[in-house]
Amino acid sequence: GTIALADAATIEAAAAAAQAAFAGWAATPITERANLLRGLATALEQHRDELIAICCKEAGKTIPDGVAEVREAVDFLRYYAARAEEADFAARGLGPRGVVLCISPWNFPLAIFLGQVSAALAAGNTVVAKPAEQTSLVALRTLELMRDCGFPPGVVALLVAEGKAVGEQLVPDPRIKAVMFTGSTGVGSWLARQLASRPDAPVPLVAETGGQNCMVVDSTALPEQVVRDVVNSGFQSAGQRCSALRVLFLQEDIADKVIEMIIGAMRELRVGDPALLSTDIGPVIDQKALRGLEDHVRYLDATGRLLHRCDIPETGEHTFFAPRLYEISNLSLLEREVFGPIVHVVRYRAEAFDEVLAQINQTGFGLTFGIHSRIEEACMRAADRVQAGNIYVNRNMIGAIVGVQPFGGRGLSGTGPKAGGPQYLSRLVTTGEEAENAAGQRELPAAGSRPGANQTLAASNTAARLWARRGLNERVSTLRQFLASYARRPEEDQLVLEHTLTAVRDQLRYAVDLLTAPKSLPGPTGESNSLHLEPRGCLLLLLDDDRHNGEYLMAAVSALVGGNSVTALATEELLPEWRALVTAMVSAGLPDSLFCVHPLAAADGLLLDPALGGVMVHARSRHLHAVAQKLATREGPILPLISCVAPTTLLHQTLVEKSVSIDTTAAGGNASLMTMAN
Ligand code: ADP
């Protein structure tokens, strides 16, 4: 096939087509939309061999990777169709947002492409879809299948185009009501900044970006399982998966033996034509990717030690890159994600286990993490401490299954919610309240020399960590105690007070249901899969309109019950009342610094504080736009602006998701003997 990249007029036409199709699609009953998605799933299965062939020719995917690719796309279609029917957003007063811009990468040209598109469609939005330039043909073929299945014209407007051209033209376009992106961390941050500068900011961005994925192997691990999982996780798909293993930490006592076994397994790998079933590893995507990997090899040759390099076929011009195993002295030598089949080994001493986990967190990335150990306590400790979105215990760390291991990272690795998880669709619907607010926006007051302007979040950060460790029961009972004292406030309008308190108490009950135990997810026998919710840390809460006091209280309690700390910023008028509230909270047993209030002038500094985990702003706040803009000037992770007024969505947004997948059949032998005291 051949492609021609879209020009400005074509890009405009795509946005116009998706916009024109929106009203009709949004009004289509959910069962009808879901049936179209399921029809497409069936069509993909019917055209499976053809699609695998295109993935192989266009993206260099091996046949097994092609099989998994089609299967994942099918899973996404059926999963989001079912979740949208179940959620019944319309009945809850939530509607689609409008046109969603979906920007997808080449490494899962069908699965990620259709994952984004199907979620947006299931929620009732229409889509401008921008697949990666390298894999436009498979997207074009998918669109033909969609037409054959009866999707109305314009519901998905496909743009075969250069990323930058589409970004520059459509991201500022007010018709685009949300952006879904999977790709590099750099482009993700660029998109966040562009969206923040729009007059109608905040515009939701769901970004899935890179990782620096590590696996820790201690001396109790079963070496055969480790080798199998390292080779799969590091080299399958030529390491071109966001989830792929990049850094392998081996306890020094077993390192030599395990390295020797990995090298043995690497000798068996066949790099070559991905169309041949005998091939394990195909080419990398293009010359640019190859040059990037070769640059990294030069860097490693100077800073590390080559342990093994696979053979590649001797052909003319090609983009094969030989899988390599390198030893490096420490993780900090790796400054960025290297997207290819290179596994870096770092040795560690048993006593340094916790330090290794801390180093992994310090990278700022948080996508996948693996641990191999037959000591359950070590596995659970790592699963708990490592701030990654997907944790894999005694198994490989790639190939997340839709609905079983919801996928996505935190920090520099993405914004959440997780793809193929229960919260994904909720980002794609709206109460419509933000839109009402576009006029009458205010700037944030400048810090200047006003009191409170030099606050930092350091104390609040420590308080959040201690509070989260106290456990749910204690947090809930402290908050209930506070609410009891709040109910006795004399000066309030009793009716309003009762209404607020009932809503907040309901929220606490919902939080208990949600947080008491991780949600266990369906999966095959021998595998345990669960979805955990963890606090974001320090959250800012903007208090700028006394008509919203009840909703502010709801926001504060929702954040606190999940284990976050709250630093509120109040206008002069609201300051005294909320300071009194802090005193009431502290007398009810809430720790100091967990909930505090500063004047609004401190916003300037606090919004840029490195410890910040997110900001809660009322959907109708006149400072919403200014906060969105300020937040986007930060370096590093894209932080959430939590502006939703629906309480359950609000609670979910104060939390981050973590999928934990355990191979429960892997702990060969009686591992409990190893943890006995004598
Ligand atoms: P990779 O390095 O994996 O190709 P990119 O982030 O460059 O990652 O690309 C992922 C997707 O983002 C592709 O579809 C690409 O065309 C698109 N893209 C790249 N730059 C921009 C941009 N400035 N605006 C919008 N989309 C972009």
Distance CA 599, CA 611 (A): 19
Expressed in angstroms and rounded, the spacing between residue 160 Cα and the centre of ligand 1 is 12
Q: Which atom of ligand 1 is nearest to the CA of 161?
A: 16
B/e letters for 247-281, b = 16+ CB within 10 Å, e = fewer, are bbbbbeebbeebbebbeebbeebebbbbbeeebbb
Residue 445 pLDDT more than 70?
yes
> Whose C-alpha lies nearest to ligand 1, atom 10?
183
Nearest CA to ligand 1 atom 13: 132
pLDDT at 438 over 60: no
Report, as an integer, the average pLDDT of 291-318.
96
| 407 CA distance to ligand 1 middle (Å) | 20
Q: Ligand 1 center to residue 269 CA distance, Å?
A: 31
188 CB within 6 A, ligand 1 = no
Q: Which of 214, 242, 379, 596 is catalytic?
A: 242
Q: How far is the CA of 200 from the centre of ligand 1 (A)?
A: 24
Determine which of 297-306, 378-387, 396-405, 644-653 has the lowest per-residue pLDDT on average: 644-653
pLDDT for the residue 454: 74
The strand pairing partners of 429, in sequence order, are 96
State in Å: Cα 104 to ligand 1 middle.
8
Residue 678 has a pLDDT of: 41
Instruction: Reply yes or no on whether 242 is catalytic.
Output: yes
582 lines ligand 1 (CB under 6 A): no
Q: Which amino acid is at 346?
A: V
Q: How far apart are CA 44 and CA 55, in angstroms?
A: 13
Instruction: Using the predicted structure, report yes or no on whether residue 514 has a pLDDT greater than 70.
Output: yes
Q: Which of 58, 69, 72, 208 is catalytic?
A: 208
- Closest atom of ligand 1 to CA, residue 191: 24
Ligand 1 proximity of 133 Cβ (cutoff 6 Å): yes
567-574: average pLDDT: 96
Q: If you measure from the C-alpha of residue 409 to the centroid of ligand 1, how many angstroms do you get, rounded to a whole number?
A: 18
Query: Residue 12: is its pLDDT beyond 70?
Result: yes
Q: CB within 8 A of 222, min separation 6: which ones? A: 372, 374, 666, 668
What pLDDT is recorded for position 1?
86
Q: Where are the alpha helices (DSSP H) in 373-456?
A: 376-385
143-160 pLDDT per residue, tens = 999 999 999 999 999 999
The CA distances from residue 265 to 55, 157, 250, 375, in Å, are 27, 45, 17, 25
Ligand 1 neighbour 166 (Cβ under 6 A)? yes
Does the Cβ of 167 fall within 6 Å of ligand 1? yes
Tally of residues, the chain: 678
pLDDT in tens, 502-512: 999 999 999 99
Pocket test for ligand 1, best of 103, 127, 171, 173 (most atoms within 8 A of CB): 103
Protein residue closest via CA to atom 15 of ligand 1: 163
Task: Indicate which atom in ligand 1 lies nearest the CA of residue 186.
Answer: 6
Whether the CB of 190 sits within 6 Å of ligand 1: yes
**Taking all residues of the chain, what is their mean pLDDT, rounded to a whole number?**
94
Q: What is the pTM of this model?
A: 0.96
Identify the DSSP state of 490. S
For the Cβ of 336 lying below 6 angstroms from any atom of ligand 1, the answer is no
Alpha-carbon distance of 29 to 35, in angstroms, equals: 10
Report the distance separating Cα 107 and Cα 43, nearest Å. Answer: 22
Q: Rounded distance, CA 470 to CA 163, Å?
A: 46
Among the listed residues 259, 253, 467, the one whose alpha carbon sits nearest the alpha carbon of residue 353: 253
45, 49, 237, 678 from 53: Cα distances, Å: 13, 6, 15, 58
Closest Cα partner for 639 from 408, 447, 412?
412
Q: How far is the CA of 170 from the centre of ligand 1 (A)?
A: 14
> Is 504 close to ligand 1, i.e. is its CB under 6 Å away?
no
pLDDT tens column, 157-213 = 999 999 999 999 999 999 999 999 999 999 999 999 999 999 998 999 999 999 999
The pLDDT, as a whole number, for residue 495 is 85
Mutate to test the pocket of ligand 1, among 58, 128, 158, 187 (most ligand atoms within 8 A of CB): 187
Beta carbon of 99 within 6 Å of any ligand 1 atom: no
130 CA closest ligand 1 atom index: 14
